[in-house]
Structure 1
Amino acid sequence: MKLGYQQGDRLAYWWVDRYVDVSDVQEPPTRDAIARFFAWHRQAQLPEIATVLTRVKGEVTGPVDAAMVRQIQQDTQRLGRQAFENAVPDLADLMLTLAPDQIRRMESKFAESNAKYRKEYLKSDPGARTEARFDKIMDYARLVYGRFSDDQERAIRDAMGPYMQGAETRYAERVKRQQEWVALAREVSTTHPPKPQVEDRLRKYADHWQRPPAERAQPYQAASQAGVALTVTIANLTTPEQKVHAATRFQKWIDDMRSLMREGNGASSQASK
């Protein structure tokens, strides 16, 4: 985590450039915006993330219920919205400079990503579809809890039915979200409204797509509930040894957060001299 975060500004620029092919004129302000974002994130959000991780570290050692998982989702959504809000002015600046070919590139990259997603997770054979998603779920589960027994893996696979019923719903939401983002970018590129109006439209976009599951359409609510239930099932199948592994893993993440915060404080002190 720490190594990835330390390279975050480079990775973020690579991601933006991959989707829009940043021009020579756009490059300096884009790099500056990313640097500002990470400076803010170190100071404003790493302490909150460490607090959330500390709470979850205590929870994973005992029985886990749906309320705990939903709280983690709410924390993630809240922090995500704060990060988006911080980036809105710079996002507006970038959107106002996008050329039509850059927006077409963005649309093409979304299409490529979706084709890969469909090929991997929406296979026509239901068994193959479940197996692909099972492998992804277990990657995350093993990251937290370590190794799982064959019996545990069978129980998890058997519990995936309701979650897999929401596969098409989750994909449809993904595509719709992308389509609305491209439409927003194209509208801004075409009409060039004042920056405050672009910022307002970005916030409305976030308001719509960052709504809590309870405020979404019923199919999405069902898919979300199934995901929570599966997470609870996995957590409560774990042994005491696996729970210790999870607590240790969270402590390492917490240590990384605190180390990154110290690095940020050191950089701020140097900059003020």
Structure 2
Amino acid sequence: MTLAILLVACTATRLAYNQAPTLSYWWIDRHVDLTDTQTAQTREDLKAFFQWHRRQELPAYASLLRQWQTMAVDQVSPAQACAQFEDIRQRLERAAAETVEPFARLALQLTPEQLENLKKQQAESNEDFEKDFLRGSPQQRLNKRLDKAVERSESFYGKLSPAQRDLLRDWLQQSPFDPQRTQAERLRRQADLLQTIRDAQATPAKAEQLVREHIARIRQSPEPSYHTYNQALVRQGCAQFATLHNATTAEQRANAVRVLKGYEDDLRTLSAQR
């Protein structure tokens, strides 16, 4: 049964990555309703990005997964967890840098009607966030977050014990997570995106610079209080992960190693494909 589950997961991972250019195109098209000309260029840009990502980034992620397999059998400190988080964050920044030129090119082509469509999609996203994190009683919101945390954890370790679930619940109750503050930052980023597009269209020669600056403001909010809040979330998340991991059994850790090895094999297979 475990082997069958792992095989299904591996197949799903490879299929999802191979479909990523198409899925990314659909996501962009839903947000701005691309024209035929924009569609052709966007598909080419996505193809080029994922070719770069497959060649340059997947081998690095596969190496990280191998390293995590070694770590998974031992105790993990919050500092170790945060070091891995920082490594991933830096790699995501590398990927973001690769999107600057195509993002700037598309921004210059967007019409007022397309920007209105983007605003509509942003509003729908905000509605979804509100449903997930701002509605219901505090206990209902906590239970929803707990269900998601358990689901993520069990995808690696297998079934959690009642004591492990209680441990997760305690950490979530202590979390500095503030959905209203997070929503406010989401709104700031959305407005920032729209303004970046308008500024790029007003000064096309600076389009790429403006996009880089927009990405930098996503990486670190210009709101000092939010940056402090976000750092606290990261530290708490690292401590939460380390505490749960250190409370797992040898069997659960072995399951995590198997899962990580399956993902590593997936990425090495994908990176070898051209």
> Quick check: 1:130 aligned with 2:139?
no
The 5 Å alignment of 1:1-273 reads 1-163=13-175, 165-189=177-201, 191-194=202-205, 197-211=206-220, 217-264=227-274
C-alpha distance in structure 2 between counterparts of 1:115 and 1:163, whole Å: 23
Closer/same/farther in 2, CA of residues 15 and 230 from structure 1, 3 Å limit: same
The AA in structure 2 aligned to 1:67 is: A
Cα distance in 1 for partners of 2:101, 2:203 equals 15
Shift, 1:187, TM fit: 2.6
Give the TM-score normalised by structure 1: 0.89
CA distance in 2, matches of 1:42, 1:235: 30
After TM superposition, the structure 1 stretch with the greater mean CA deviation from structure 2, 154-163 or 25-34, is: 154-163
SS, match of residue 138 in structure 1: helix
Calculate the aligned-residue CA RMSD, in Å.
1.7
Relative to structure 1, the CA distance from residue 165 to residue 49 in structure 2 (aligned partners, 3 Å threshold; closer, same or farther) is: closer
Contact 2:176/2:232 (CA < 8 Å) preserved in 1? no
1:224-266 per-residue CA deviation (whole Å, 9 max, x = no partner) reads 22222222222222111110010100000000011011212xx
Is the 1:100–1:186 contact (alpha carbons within 8 Å) kept by the matching residues of 2?
A: no
Q: Structure 1: which 5+ runs fail to align?
A: 265-273
Q: Which moved more, 1:236-245 or 1:161-170?
A: 161-170
Counterpart of 1:62 in 2: which secondary structure?
coil
CA apart distance, 1:164: 5.3
The CA distance in 1 between the partners of 2:84 and 2:180, in whole Å, is 24
Q: CA deviation at 1:114?
A: 1.3
Contact 1:70-1:228 within 8 A present in 2 as well: yes
Determine the structure 2 residue equivalent to 1:269.
none
CA shift, 1:161, in A, is: 1.6
Report the Cα offset of residue 175 of structure 1.
2.5
Alignment check: 8 A CA contact 1:169 1:223 kept: no
Q: Distance in 2 between matches of 1:169 and 1:162?
A: 16
After TM superposition, the structure 1 stretch with the greater mean CA deviation from structure 2, 165-174 or 254-263, is 165-174
Q: What is the rounded CA distance, in whole Å, between the counterparts of 1:162 and 1:237 in structure 2?
A: 18
Q: Partners in 2 of 1:114 and 1:44 — Cα distance?
A: 34
Conserved 8 A contact 1:163-1:226 = yes
- Asked if structure 2 preserves the Cα contact closer than 8 Å seen for 1:95 and 1:185, the reply is yes
Which 10-residue stretch deviates more, 97-106 or 155-164?
Answer: 155-164
1:270 is aligned to: none
Residue identity over aligned pairs, in percent, reads 29
1:68 deviates by: 1.8
Letter in 2 for 1:131: N
Q: Give the direction of change, closer, same or farther, for the CA distance of 1:237–1:173 in structure 2 (3 Å limit).
A: farther
Q: Deviation of residue 165 (structure 1)? A: 4.0
Shift of residue 150, structure 1, vs aligned partner: 1.8
Q: State the one-letter code of the partner of 1:34.
A: L
Task: Give the distance between the partners of 1:77 and 1:41, measured in 2 at CA.
Answer: 15
Closer/same/farther in 2, CA of residues 170 and 231 from structure 1, 3 Å limit: farther
Cα pair 2:14 2:270 within 8 Å, conserved: yes
- CA distance, structure 1, for counterparts of residue 150 and residue 167 of structure 2: 12
Q: Secondary structure at the match of 1:97?
A: coil
- Structure 2 counterpart of 1:20, one-letter code: V
Residue 138 of structure 1: how far off its partner (Å) = 1.4
Matched to 2:240, the amino acid is: L
SS of residue paired to 1:25: helix
Report if the CA contact (8 A) 2:31-2:117 is conserved.
yes
One-letter identity of the residue aligned with 2:210: R
Partner letter of residue 3 of structure 1? Answer: L
